[in-house]
Amino acid sequence: GGPKLTSEKAGKSRISYNLYIPLIVGMPEEADQADFGNVVKYSIYRIAIDDEGNEGEPVHVETVDRGEGSYLTPDGLPRKDFGNIDIVDPATLAPGRYRYMIETQRANFPEVMSAKSNILRIDPPQLPSGVENVGQDEEQGGFRLQAKAVAGEGLLRVSGSSEIGWLTICSVNGTVVNRLRVAANAATVDISALPAGVYVATANNSSVRFLKR
């Protein structure tokens, strides 16, 4: 089927995006591959939105085509292997509202399929107040969490620099989809029931995003 694209802030004036192709509900993986074929090309565009909600002309950010040394390889990639997270738009953006658009081409389907992301706002820089703000360490106590979904197996492998304890998995909109106790520094979690998308795993105040294909 067609692609999906989400975006999030990557600093005060940058935006990152996550891309993948969810499996059509009720369609087996083999049928998707037979009907649509490998992903052979995709392009990303940035769209500015004015105060009245009107979208400007799309601005090209990147295009990836199949070929030697390319992420898509000479034959392209099957749907289940296609996707990436935390790709940062190299542009430093002026204050305003933005969204992104993806266009994909698949080998067995002649039409270009597209999708648009959520809308994000880049705020104007704040004037200095004269008071220095000291923030907390990102990783309290030195704990570090790692998580990686195994494509095609419906499993999430998590590991920590010490005992993980309570592990919470949320969708990107904050909905808790799983919570479990891990009395070790590594575990494998069944995520086969989760729809394809970007999720956040959190334990001991350390968070990491992962992509379920």
| Integer angstrom CA distances of residue 134 from 54, 127, 137, 139 | 39, 17, 10, 15
61 φψ region: left (φ > 0), alpha (ψ -120 to 50), beta (else):
alpha
- Candidates 196, 197, 210; CA nearest to 27 is 196
What global pTM score does this model have? 0.71
- Each residue's pLDDT, cut to its tens digit, for the chain (213 residues) gives 899 999 999 988 999 999 999 999 899 999 999 999 999 999 999 999 998 899 999 999 999 998 888 889 899 999 999 998 889 999 999 889 999 999 999 999 999 999 999 999 998 865 443 433 333 334 445 788 999 888 778 899 999 999 999 999 998 777 889 999 999 999 999 999 998 888 989 998 888 989 888
Which H or E run contains 134?
Answer: none
